[in-house]
Amino acid sequence: MLHGGSLVIDECTTCFCDNSTVKCDIKSCQPTFCETPLVDPAECCDLCPYYVPVWEMNPLNIDVIREGVVNDLTIDLNLKINDQGQGVEGEGLWKVGMWGSANMDGSGDRIGYVEQVLTESQSAQKVTRPPFFGGFEFTIPGIDYSMDSQGATCPEMEYLCVEFGKGDEPAPVYPQLPFDVEGVESETDGTVNPQHVIGCDRFPKCEGVTVSGLQAGYSASKLTAGRKDDVRIDATASFTDGSIDLSGSGLWRLAMYGSTNAEGTGEQFQRVENALSSSQQGLSLTGAQDITYSNSKAEIDVVAIGCNEYKFICFDFMKGESPRPEYTFRSLQEADPTKYTVCNSKECEAGITIERTDANLISGSVVDGRASNEYSIGYSAFGNGVNVEGTGLWQLTAYGSANADGSGEQLNPTTKTFDARQASTTFNGGQTMNYGTVGFDYSMEGQTCETVQFICLELGKGPESSAVFEMSADPEDAVKSCVPAECEGVFVTSTASSPENMMLYEGNPSNYMTFDSNAQTTEASGPVVGLNSWSMALYGSERPNGEGEQYGRQEQVLSPYHASVPLREPGQLLNYDDVATNFDMTGLTCAQVKHMCTELRRNPQSSVDFELTGVPDETVLKACFEVPDGSCKGVVITDMSWDMEIQGDVKSGQAETLAINMDVDSLVNSGSVEGETLWRVGLYGSNNPKGSGAKKLDYQRQILSQDQSGRSLRAGETMQIPFIETKFDMTKVGCEEEYQYLCLEYTKGQRATPDFMFEVQEGGDQIVRCKAQDCRKGVKLRGLAIDNMASGAGQQLLEGSRNNRLLFDLQGLAAAGSGGASGDGLWGMKVWASTREDCEGPRMNEQQRDTLSRYQINKDVRPGEDVNFGAVDMNFDMTGLTCDEARYMCVELEKGPRPRPNFELEAVPSNDVLKKSFRHDCSGVEIARTGMDVDDNTVPLDGRPIRFDTTVATSSTGADARGSNMWNLETFLSSNPDGQGSRNLLDRQVLTQTDASRDLTAGSQIRFANLEAQVSQDDINCEEITYLCVELSQGAAASPQFTMSAQGDSQSNYVDCKKLKCQKPRK
């Protein structure tokens, strides 16, 4: 190697020659801080991928910005990289975008967005990984950024946002290495940045338009209360030095209104939202100079402010509703930064003074106590002050007074005087207000012509005036003016009334009566000639002077003729003769109408207007007379009837519940009554049909419930009291000679409310009705007597037959002290078959229906007598029964399921005596004959069987047989032609199951054909006579079981034999 030459020994060592001396450079490798270093054969050291994991990024040194301009900013960008980050070196490594945003995460519109704000040198700034484990920081200082905020407002660019990422065409030193920039989980709050790391920070301040002051005032020439006048406004708005320059349209608003307080808060009066003209709304703001608004116009009832609760006039300076361009508006007033408010206190300018009112009577007059008195009065007023216009401005009060100047108490005041037009009359200061004719009704209720001598009118401000103004009077009574009341009437000093013809009935709504009446007038009375001038009230009273409660008051009892009696001359006596009316006594008693009273009054429907006055007082208009003796009666009862139903069973010694329905009839024109505890009804047993006498069995004084005792009674109508429920031992009446009747006693209740007069037409104060009773003492039976009328009459029960006639005589034997019963459905009877004479055990085929005839079911029984039912003729069903099971027929007598009336049935000493059994002939299948037909009676040598047929005939008086396995036919050999004696059994059953189950009808026969008997010559002695026999019997497994007997009890009916002969061998 020559001087200056070099030699690469390996990737880490390079040697060179220097004046015959060899020198070598040996590279040393720093430790790597990545999980998987990359090995490059061309490099000495292992390399880590270019990886920049950013977990936090902040723009630093952010300055103040302003709306509508280009804001030049210089920003330092600081990034925090976690412990996985590696160093990066090269060109065009980084890309940084900047913008203004309304949101802290940079979302939404990007104001003044610049995609790359880095210079070439800044985009190539090296990232150096510290030689230790852990995260580190990377800062790019002095980034220049021009943010164009034109067209944007401060709220739209509250934050400065930075987006950091890899350059579009990065050129790292080792291009072969992977190069990644990404956001990773924050080490402080765990959030993850996106692939392109974004970080935002709030601008310290954003400047728009800030209002620092407002001066405002108004002027007006001619003012009218209740009308919106033209007001001219001068105002000057001041701004802070930091306010931006602003020009455009619709930038500003200036509002004017009345307020209840100096701050302009709360309810506002007639707010004018914007008094600025279009050109004034577009005045420009330049260099934060004041803006002056001259001669702005508003329409407002400014004269009213200060006269009501709105004592301040206020102005609001605000941003326009739709400014172009949009901008940020702030007020230095902390209460509401959206407006600047200034208010000034104001005195009331809407005041008027009434100096005179005039009233003149056109028509009208009053009558004592009359509710409606029509007046027509001409009316006008004069005053000075501000003009007033609107609706409902005035209120005119009309009242009665004893004084010509309207002073003192205002009597029966009314404000229903002005119509809507009059109440809205315009007031012009210094001119007379002519209201025209005022028409109204004045009420004299509670007043007389002495108390009301004048009708007065008082003018006041309307309570619902659309205009705000203040009203006063000078002099104080200038608002009052009066006219004479013009009063008129008739005066009566006494009245008198007397009866002619009358009959009153308590509770009756219509009671005809006639009476005379008169009234004495005074010389001061005016004439009254017209229709329906008078009315006369009529009422009953407990007092002779008519004081206290008035009963049955009728407001008008005068006929049209009497009501129109004329008063032609002062002092005339008014006569009302033969006044006829119907008096309503509903709810009234005679004690309440001991006196009838009249009261004379003016008829409200009179065609003539006048007032009726009693002298010295109103009591003289009343007159009373005593009701003559016998002219008032109460309830008059003509008849009473009742019926009864017993609830439940009747048992001796026990009270039964009775349900009684009662009808009461009264005289057609007698009294009616309604109230509480009006009636009393008693119940008892009696020994005579009139219920009279001292002896009353088990007397119950009151059996009505509270509700029933208050049942209303209308004269001439039947009063029904249904379902009177009480208890009475019905076995005590009807059975003994002493008490045969049950009686009801009806009268007035002892504490009737209201009290009333009560009488019975037939005399007395109570009515009694009695009814004879059947004996309901319990029927006592000591046993039954039965005579089987079918015995010996050829009638018998047939096994399995549905139709079997039973005919027997039945008698119930009365025990000592037995009562009686009469009615329907009294008796029932059960019949069944039993194996026992005492009828205990199973009741086979028990029958209850159709055992007794209708006559026998309803059979009456007299006290102490036997119950003779006569012949019981019924059908008994033997289906499923054998004669062994029906050895006895049992009868049990019982009370019917629904006897009417119910009664008590008692068995003495026990219920067993009501059961009785009797024997009855019974027949099963009766065999009349069993016959055998043999084809050949020769016993063969080869052992072939002997074939034969068997016929069984039955009696027509026996039962049918139907079922399975009923028959058994046995074959045997016998030495006797009747099969008696010893037998040689051949076969116990020669019948097939089909033959053994064949039905047999009584009186018919069955034939068993093609039967076989296996007989061998070894079984017989051919030298002796031998018979082949068959014997019929009941099958051991017969279903159902049945009884089989031989007709005439001849057992030979079951057996038949045929003589056999032996076949001889051939020679």
pLDDT value of residue 792: 60
Q: Which residues contact 619 (CB under 8 A, 6 or more apart)?
A: none
**Confidence band, pLDDT 50/70/90 cuts, at residue 838:** very high
Quick check: 976 pLDDT over 60?
A: yes
Quick check: 525 pLDDT over 70?
A: yes
Quick check: 64 pLDDT over 70?
A: yes
Q: What is the pLDDT of residues 538-551, one digit of tens each?
A: 999 999 999 999 99
Q: What is the pLDDT of residues 570-624, one digit of tens each?
A: 789 999 999 999 999 888 889 899 999 999 999 999 988 788 888 888 999 999 9
**Cis-peptide into 325, omega within 30 deg:** yes
**Mean local confidence (pLDDT), 713-742:** 88
Residue-averaged pLDDT of the chain:
90
Quick check: 967 pLDDT over 50?
A: yes
Q: For the chain, give the percent of residues with pLDDT over 70.
A: 98
pLDDT value of residue 999: 92
C-alpha 690/C-alpha 688 separation (Å) is 6
**Mean local confidence (pLDDT), 138-166:** 91
Q: What is the pLDDT of residues 478-517, one digit of tens each?
A: 999 999 887 677 889 999 999 999 999 988 888 999 999 9
Quick check: 116 pLDDT over 70?
A: yes
Quick check: 152 pLDDT over 90?
A: no
C-alpha 2/C-alpha 16 separation (Å) is 9
The answer to whether the beta carbons of residues 700 and 682 sit under 8 Å apart is yes
The three-class DSSP label of residue 106 is coil
The answer to whether the beta carbons of residues 129 and 149 sit under 8 Å apart is no
Q: What is the pLDDT of residues 202-232, one digit of tens each?
A: 999 888 999 999 999 998 877 888 888 889 9
pLDDT value of residue 685: 93
Q: Report the 10 Å Cβ neighbour count for 441.
A: 14
Quick check: 831 pLDDT over 50?
A: yes
**Mean local confidence (pLDDT), 318-332:** 91
**Mean local confidence (pLDDT), 988-1013:** 92
Q: Which residues contact 429 (CB under 8 A, 6 or more apart)?
A: 352, 383, 384, 385, 386, 387
Which range of 21-25, 35-39, 64-68, 651-655 scores highest in mean pLDDT? It is 64-68
**Confidence band, pLDDT 50/70/90 cuts, at residue 902:** confident
**Confidence band, pLDDT 50/70/90 cuts, at residue 794:** low
Q: For residue 9, give the amino acid letter.
A: I
pLDDT value of residue 736: 64
Cα separations in angstroms, 130 against 88, 137, 154: 12, 10, 41
pLDDT value of residue 195: 46
pLDDT value of residue 710: 94
pLDDT value of residue 756: 86
**Mean local confidence (pLDDT), 430-459:** 91
pLDDT value of residue 737: 65
pLDDT value of residue 197: 86
The answer to whether the beta carbons of residues 516 and 497 sit under 8 Å apart is yes
Q: Which residues contact 102 (CB under 8 A, 6 or more apart)?
A: 108, 109, 155, 156, 157, 158, 159
pLDDT value of residue 1067: 58
- Kindly report whether the global pTM for this prediction surpasses the value 0.85: no
| Burial classification of residue 1040, based on how many CB atoms lie within 10 Å of its CB (0-12 exposed, 13-18 middle, 19 or more buried) | middle
| Burial classification of residue 948, based on how many CB atoms lie within 10 Å of its CB (0-12 exposed, 13-18 middle, 19 or more buried) | buried
First-to-last alpha carbon distance for the chain, in angstroms, is: 163
pLDDT value of residue 668: 87
Quick check: 957 pLDDT over 60?
A: yes
Quick check: 911 pLDDT over 60?
A: yes
Helix, strand, coil percentages (3-state) for the chain, rounded to 5, are 5, 50, 45
pLDDT value of residue 1: 63
**Confidence band, pLDDT 50/70/90 cuts, at residue 188:** low
Quick check: 43 pLDDT over 80?
A: no
**Confidence band, pLDDT 50/70/90 cuts, at residue 192:** low
pLDDT value of residue 174: 87
The answer to whether the beta carbons of residues 512 and 582 sit under 8 Å apart is yes
pLDDT value of residue 375: 93
**Mean local confidence (pLDDT), 453-474:** 93
Quick check: 80 pLDDT over 70?
A: yes
Among 715, 770, 723, 729, residue whose Cα is nearest residue 746? 770
